[in-house]
Amino acid sequence: MKTVVKTDTETATATPEFEKAALRQESRRGLFLALPAYLYLIFFFVISLFIVFIYSFATRNRFGGTDLSGWNLDSYARISEPIVRDVLFRSIWLAFLTTVICLVIAYPFAYFLSTRRVAVRNIMLVFVMIPFWTNFLVRNFAWRVILGNNGPLTNATEFVGLGSAELLFTQTAVVLGLVYGYLPFMILPLYAAIERIDRRLLEASRDLYGTGFQSFRHVLFPLSMPGVIAGSILVFVPSLGAYVTPEILGGAKTTLLGSYIVTQFLTARNWPFGAALSFVLMLVMLVTTIVYFRKGGRTL
């Protein structure tokens, strides 16, 4: 009798023990698989971000080097200087403008795409993907050729009698380049969001005597909000940190945050200040993204 009871309790506890061991082994396997990438990311993202953070409190010495002592907040204080503030506001304004223009062009396009037959739609999507994948530098350079002196655009405007359009090295050119570069980032999440919407809701809205605009305003647009937000983040963030586009299409008066940071490292040799600016840029981006995910967004 005693022994039976004993074995009963033994088997009762043995099974969870066995399962626990199996679970532990599974967990070890998972961690083992993840480990190389995990360590890589910790090294190159966590530690390096920490180094940037440390540098932002350091002091630039007379020779353009960085003294990692005498910690101070000078680099952050400089952000309120008029020159820096101008660069910051200009970057935010142009990134905002780029996002709005992309949204205005991409929304009807994404909707249009969602109303096509599946076969046609797939082909249309492929042709959106191609520029999305082709070399960003080359695509910006193409605009340099088009907008340049005696280029196709000036020739065209002169031909129509509008005079020569001198857009190169202006803010307009930079926004044009940014819109060109990031439009696919807006189209794809918008399309993903709009395509998921139940068409019957739109039909119901029309059946209940809603006008086309009212259906859009109260049904389609609110339901496509996740796509609108995802697309806006995907356009706004890289526009804010843009470097290649303003360098190629912009001029001296269109310095943006990205180029300004690069200048601090490669020419002005003020690493602490550059580090502070990059840290702020990263923080803005991180906060935006976290807010988005907190609000339940999924399509990034």
Site residues (CB under 8 A) for another protein, limited to 206-265: 206-207, 212, 215, 237-238, 240-241, 243-244, 247-248, 257-258, 261-262, 265
Task: Identify whether the C-beta of residue 101 lies closer than 8 Å to the C-beta of residue 179.
Answer: yes
The backbone region for 64, taken as left when phi is positive above 0, alpha when psi lies in -120 to 50, beta otherwise, is left
Our CB check for another protein shows the closer of 223 and 244 to be: 244
Q: What is the token pair recorded at 280? A: 């702020």
Footprint of another protein on 267-296 (CB under 8 A): 271, 274-275, 278-279, 281-282, 285-286, 289
Cα–Cα distance for residue pair 27/30, rounded to 1 Å: 5
Q: Answer yes or no whether residue 37 interacts with another protein by CB under 8 A.
A: yes
Q: Which of 7, 13, 27, 61 binds another protein (CB under 8 A)?
A: 27
CA separation for the pair 69, 121 (Å, rounded): 59
Binding residue (CB under 8 A) for another protein from 3, 11, 80, 135:
135
CA distance 9 to 115: 65
Dihedral, 67, 73, 78, 79 alpha carbons, nearest 10 = 120
Tell me: does residue 130 bind another protein (CB under 8 A): yes
Task: Taking each helix axis as running N to C, give the angle between helix 271-294 and helix 257-266, from 0 to 180 degrees, rounded to the nearest 10.
Answer: 150
- In the bound complex, what is the minimum distance in angstroms from residue 85's beta carbon to another protein? 19
Dihedral angle of Cα 159, 164, 170, 176, to the nearest 10 degrees: -10
Nearer to another protein among residue 80 and residue 149 (C-beta): 149
139 is a site residue for another protein (CB under 8 A): yes
* C-beta closer to another protein: residue 4 or 208: 208
Please, is 78 exposed, middle or buried when counting C-beta atoms within 10 Å of its C-beta (0-12, 13-18, 19+)?
Answer: middle
Is position 38 an interface residue for another protein (rule: CB under 8 A)?
Answer: yes
By CB under 8 A, the residues from 66 to 125 that bind another protein are 105-106, 108-109, 111-113, 115, 124
Q: Which of 83, 129, 156, 162 binds another protein (CB under 8 A)?
A: 129
CA–CA dist 248, 256 (Å, integer): 12
Number of residues near another protein (by CB under 8 A): 91
Residue whose CB is less far from another protein, 97 or 282: 282
Residue 31 binds another protein, judged by CB under 8 A: yes
